[in-house]
Amino acid sequence: MLAFPEVKEKYMYFVSKSGYEDSVIRHAAKDGAVLLKLDDLFE
C-alpha cells in the first residue's frame, strides 16, 4: 500500500452485501485480507 508507506502494520477489510466469488476468496486468503458480509457488521 503505497498511500501510507510509513505504516508498518496494514490491515485490509472488505465488506460485501452479496458475498464474494471464489477467486476473491482465494486472493484474500493469500494476501491476508478479511472478507466480511454486511450481516457480520450487525452481529
3-state secondary structure of 17: coil
* CA distances to 6, 19, 22, 36, 43 from 9, in Å: 9, 26, 26, 20, 26
pLDDT at 33 over 70: yes
- Average pLDDT over the chain, rounded to an integer: 90
Q: What is the pLDDT of residues 11-28, one digit of tens each?
A: 899 999 999 999 999 999
- Percent of the chain having pLDDT more than 70? 98
CB atoms near residue 18 (< 10 Å) = 6
pTM above 0.75, yes or no: no
pLDDT at 1 over 60: no
